[in-house]
Amino acid sequence: MSYSYYQARQYEKSIEGFKKLSGKEDSLAQNAMYLLGDAYLKTGQKANARNAFMFCAINSSNPTQQEISRFNYGKLSYELGYHDIALNELQQFLKTYPNSAYTAEAREVLVGVMASTSNYKDALTLLESIRQPSDQVKKFYPGILYGRATELINDNRLEEADLLLDKAIKAPFNTTVLPLVYFWKGEVAYRTGATEEAVEYYADYLKNPVSNNEVTVANANYNLGYAYLKKELYKQAQTHFEAVVKTPSARSGQVEQDAYIRMADAIYMQRDYKKAAALYDRAIQLGWPASDYASFQKSMIAGITSTTDKIRQLQQFQQKYPGSSLVPDANMEIAQAYLSNEDFKEAIPYLNAVLKNTKSEALKPRAYLRAGIAHYNLGNNEEALKQYNALLEQYPNSLEAEDALDNARSIYVEEGRTSEYIGYAKKMGRDVSTSQQDSLAYAEAEIQLSNGNFTNAISRFDNYLKTYPQGRYVLEANYYKGEIHLSRKEHAQAAAAYEAVASRVPNKFGEKSLLQAARLNFFDLKQYEKAAQLFARLKEFATTEENKLEAMRGQLRSEYQLAKWPEAVENAKELLTVKGASADDKLLSNMVLARAAQEEKNYDLAISYYKAAAVGGKGAFSAEARYQVAWCLFEQAKYKDAEKTAFEVINKNGSYEEWVTRSYLLLGDIYMKQQDFFNAKATYQSIVENASIPALKEEAQRKLKQATEAESKQNNISAKN
């Protein structure tokens, strides 16, 4: 009767009869569930259709109906918002029926599922494997490219991200994401030093701006301001910083505060000192964290017309901000002001203060040189030579070392001790007798470099370094070797060459070599211990705030990988408060503080830090943060909350297989605690069948065995009772 109603298209009547055959496992029941599902679809009852196809799918009496039902069950799960089930069902469908007539459509639906669960990594792979995608799937493509690119940017894999953003620009149906793509193209270009490109892409974004998390008009203008500062186009920089600043107040956000200060800097560089001073004054009055910097800059302005005023203001600065990182710079500027007035005796105490400060490594070569000059002008040649000696022994490769050697030579000549100078120079690593041969050998390599013959250049540089291991051009030879190897993606050789230069900091290539060596060891070679050391060294010798920030975040990332929580905690707290810290820096710092609290079983504190890290993030850290929140809740026996949070990882961070798989493992553990052995076994079994990470698959297999044994034990007890 039900079948007759179905054939007559009286679907509501047919449904009533088919429903009565549910729960059975014979071929009649399967056929009834199959037709029931179709009847529900034809009457717009998708949720009921999904359930009917589920019953049909678990019945193997008719393989063809089972195949179609499994597909429909997965597709309807997606359409009704059961994304985790849809993901699993469609993946299993494609694995079981690789040559099905529904394979192409299943792939397309699965692309939508993955996009909905932020599994951009697998969605991209799957989509690009579809030979003739439909327009609907093509519409997913730009968003998937953009989503995956932002994940890679958060993971600092900028080169890979940039390639995906380029694809998104060329992809059809990209109107919605195109402004976002332009913004991140600008960000990637800026971070990789391509300032011209950064300006172009940020400008493209501002032509049709939209907002999404970090993508805002304010951030675009802020970044453009910095790009123009790099290009030394100060008027344009001022314009963009002004666009960020609304009404400066004590409650202004970090970006607005920094934009205001940089606007003042841009005006200062245009020599409008009166206006710049007024802006610095306002920052000081508002009590912003950058008040010390603003006060320091005001002292520089005072020095333009009066060194006396400059000295007085810098001395006041030291009294007002004794803990400022700019105190060594203030001492150096006071000393330089005294030296320019030929008040040599007054300069010496301030130079000594720089030399005694443990946080002023980058300034010490200059301080030794200036101290030598001051003592020489006071007629104290012996003390002057001591200062030059200290400089040449401690910082032999610094820019000031050659000046120190020349000044020492003048003293030896003046005192009629020219014969002693040859021995002195040799003792300081400067063999005068071999300098001409040294120069010729280096010139051979440099010519090959200039002509673009990089293989020959490396060979000549190697010969030079072997012949003159302490030669005059050791820094240049190693640095250019590093550049060539890096361009060829020969990461280990590039790192070794840069490290050779970095080991001799300070020098003219030292800061960049430290940065490149640290990056290579962290991102490419995964040598986190060495990376931590190099980033720490960079932090000491960085001359720009940008490099100092990268050193701090690089050191913290390395310590995170090494699980050095005591050291990492202090660095995390410092990074959270430093001027110019980005959203990524705060995310990393919160992750470190969370892990440290978690290690001490302070789960509430850990959760608060993890939640701060997870907000708005798309990268690996955000995925891990969400998982760790779930884990902490599990440890607190808050199983319902833990379950909900584990599903958030699955639905929001699908590109990160490790954390998704760990979340499924945790779900299994939750079900075990609740003695829901059926769901525990199903969850572990799913991991065993689908996980690609061997260690996690083995863990799931072990836990599946435990769940099976626990269920059997429970059943035995029930049977006895």
Residues 547 and 454 occupy one common structural domain: yes
Residues 514 and 557 occupy one common structural domain: yes
Residues 470 and 507 occupy one common structural domain: yes
From the number of C-beta atoms within 10 Å of its C-beta (0-12, 13-18, 19+), residue 312 rates as: middle
Domain count, the chain: 4
Segments in 24-99 forming alpha helices (H):
27-42, 46-57, 63-79, 83-96
Least confident of 95-104, 433-442, 645-654: 433-442
Bridge partners, residue 212, by sequence: 215
Per-residue pLDDT at 717 exceeds 60: yes
Contact 608, 625 (CB under 8 A): no
pLDDT tens digits for 212-241? 988 999 999 999 999 999 999 999 999 999
Per-residue pLDDT at 55 exceeds 90: no
The rounded percent of the chain whose pLDDT value lies above 70 is: 97
3-state secondary structure of 166: helix
Per-residue pLDDT at 437 exceeds 80: no
pLDDT band at 692 (very low <50, low <70, confident <90, very high): confident
The reply to whether 137 falls in a domain is no
Mean pLDDT of 517-533: 95
From the number of C-beta atoms within 10 Å of its C-beta (0-12, 13-18, 19+), residue 350 rates as: buried
Residues 402 and 419 occupy one common structural domain: yes
The reply to whether 142 falls in a domain is no
Per-residue pLDDT at 457 exceeds 80: yes
Helix count (H) and strand count (E) of the chain?
A: 39, 0
How many Å apart are CA 315 and CA 337, to the nearest integer? 12
The angle at the Cα of 663, spanning 662 to 669, to the nearest 5 degrees, equals 90
- Residue after which a domain boundary falls, among 100, 116, 132: 116
Count CB-CB contacts under 10 A for residue 420: 11
User: Would you state the pLDDT for residue 50?
Assistant: 87
Instruction: Answer left, alpha or beta for residue 342, where phi above 0 means left and psi between -120 and 50 means alpha.
Output: left
Maximum CA extent, the chain = 124
Q: What is the DSSP string of 366-403?
A: HHHHHHHHHHHHTT-HHHHHHHHHHHHHH-TTSHHHHH
Per-residue pLDDT at 32 exceeds 90: no
**Higher per-residue confidence, 157 vs 259:** 259
Contact 265, 283 (CB under 8 A): no
State both tokens at 683: 């969850």
Mean pLDDT of 48-73: 89
How many Å apart are CA 511 and CA 508, to the nearest integer? 8
DSSP H/E element including 443: helix 435-450
Per-residue pLDDT at 246 exceeds 60: yes
Residues across the chain: 721
pLDDT tens digits for 654-680? 888 899 999 999 999 999 999 998 888
Residues 681 and 692 occupy one common structural domain: yes
Residues 389 and 446 occupy one common structural domain: no
User: Would you state the pLDDT for residue 191?
Assistant: 86
The reply to whether 43 falls in a domain is yes
Residues 417 and 454 occupy one common structural domain: no
User: Would you state the pLDDT for residue 566?
Assistant: 86
Phi, psi angle pair for 215, to nearest 5° = -80, 100
User: Would you state the pLDDT for residue 435?
Assistant: 65
Sign of the dihedral defined by the CA atoms of residues 272, 278, 282, 285, in that order: positive
How many Å apart are CA 285 and CA 13, to the nearest integer? 80
How many Å apart are CA 199 and CA 60, to the nearest integer? 61
User: Would you state the pLDDT for residue 160?
Assistant: 93
Cα-Cα-Cα-Cα torsion 220, 221, 224, 230, nearest 10 degrees, comes to: -130
- Residue after which a domain boundary falls, among 382, 412, 430: 430
From the number of C-beta atoms within 10 Å of its C-beta (0-12, 13-18, 19+), residue 358 rates as: exposed
pLDDT band at 8 (very low <50, low <70, confident <90, very high): confident
How many Å apart are CA 402 and CA 280, to the nearest integer? 38
Query: Can you give the residue range of the structural domain that contains 701?
Result: 616-721
Per-residue pLDDT at 182 exceeds 80: yes
- Which amino acid is it at 18? F
Per-residue pLDDT at 432 exceeds 60: no
Mean pLDDT of 185-199: 93
Sign of the dihedral defined by the CA atoms of residues 24, 25, 26, 31, in that order: positive
* Integer Rg of the chain from CA: 34
pLDDT tens digits for 396-410? 888 899 899 889 988
Contact 61, 95 (CB under 8 A): no
How many Å apart are CA 506 and CA 537, to the nearest integer? 10
Per-residue pLDDT at 36 exceeds 60: yes
Per-residue pLDDT at 320 exceeds 90: yes
pLDDT tens digits for 372-396? 999 999 999 999 999 999 999 999 8
Long-range contacts of 603-606 (CB under 8 A, 24+ apart): 603/632, 603/633, 603/635, 603/636, 606/632
The reply to whether 405 falls in a domain is yes
The reply to whether 217 falls in a domain is no
- Residue after which a domain boundary falls, among 367, 401, 430: 430
How many Å apart are CA 187 and CA 162, to the nearest integer? 10
Contact 36, 18 (CB under 8 A): yes
Q: What is the mean pLDDT of the chain?
A: 90
The reply to whether 306 falls in a domain is no
Residues 542 and 660 occupy one common structural domain: no
CATH classification of the domain holding 703: 1.25.40.10
User: Would you state the pLDDT for residue 169?
Assistant: 97
Residues 411 and 437 occupy one common structural domain: no
Count CB-CB contacts under 10 A for residue 525: 16
How many Å apart are CA 350 and CA 331, to the nearest integer? 5
The reply to whether 459 falls in a domain is yes
Residues 410 and 377 occupy one common structural domain: yes
pLDDT tens digits for 464-480? 999 989 888 999 999 99
Mean pLDDT of 428-440: 68
pLDDT band at 24 (very low <50, low <70, confident <90, very high): low
3-state secondary structure of 215: strand
Q: What is the DSSP string of 688-715?
A: HHH---HHHHHHHHHHHHHHHHHHHHHH
Cis peptide leading into residue 63 (ω within 30°): no
Residues 462 and 405 occupy one common structural domain: no
Per-residue pLDDT at 23 exceeds 60: no
Mean pLDDT of 136-160: 91
pLDDT band at 433 (very low <50, low <70, confident <90, very high): low
CA neighbours within 13 Å on the CB side: how many for 682?
7
pLDDT band at 690 (very low <50, low <70, confident <90, very high): confident
In 180-238, beta strands by DSSP E: none
The reply to whether 398 falls in a domain is yes
Residues 422 and 441 occupy one common structural domain: no
How many Å apart are CA 293 and CA 291, to the nearest integer? 5
Per-residue pLDDT at 275 exceeds 70: yes
Phi, psi angle pair for 562, to nearest 5° = -90, -5
